């Protein structure tokens, strides 16, 4: 179980990094990069929002996720 939590934590850190790059990846694209389902990505993004207070939103024009605040300190 502890190993699964480490994998999940690393994945969430990678999602954070990719969102910060401002390339507007959607759940399918993130899932492909991280080798998990888009549903898993959506759950991870929910955790970023709910438990870490990350200002993550989905932009329908760019079809991807982004931070609404450029200087958010999710993992500071």
CATH 3.30.565.10 is held by the domain 2-67: no
**pLDDT per residue as tens, the chain (76 positions):** 688 899 999 999 999 999 999 999 999 999 999 999 999 999 999 999 999 899 999 999 999 999 999 776 665 4
Q: Which residues of the chain form beta strands (DSSP E)?
A: 56-59, 64-67
Sequence ranges of the domains in the chain = 2-67
Could you tell me the two tokens for 39?
A: 């549903």
- Residues with Cβ within 8 Å of 72's Cβ and at least 6 positions away in sequence, in order, are 54, 55
Handedness of CA 65, 46, 8, 55 (dihedral sign): positive
């Amino acid at each position: 179980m502890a190993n699964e939590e480490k994998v999940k934590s690393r994945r969430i850190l990678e999602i954070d990094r990719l969102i910060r790059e401002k390339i507007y990846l959607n759940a399918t694209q993130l899932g492909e990069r991280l080798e998990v389902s888009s549903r898993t990505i959506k759950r991870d993004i929910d955790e970023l929002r709910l438990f870490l207070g990350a200002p993550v939103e989905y932009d329908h024009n760019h079809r991807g996720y982004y931070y609404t605040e450029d200087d958010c300190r999710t993992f500071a």
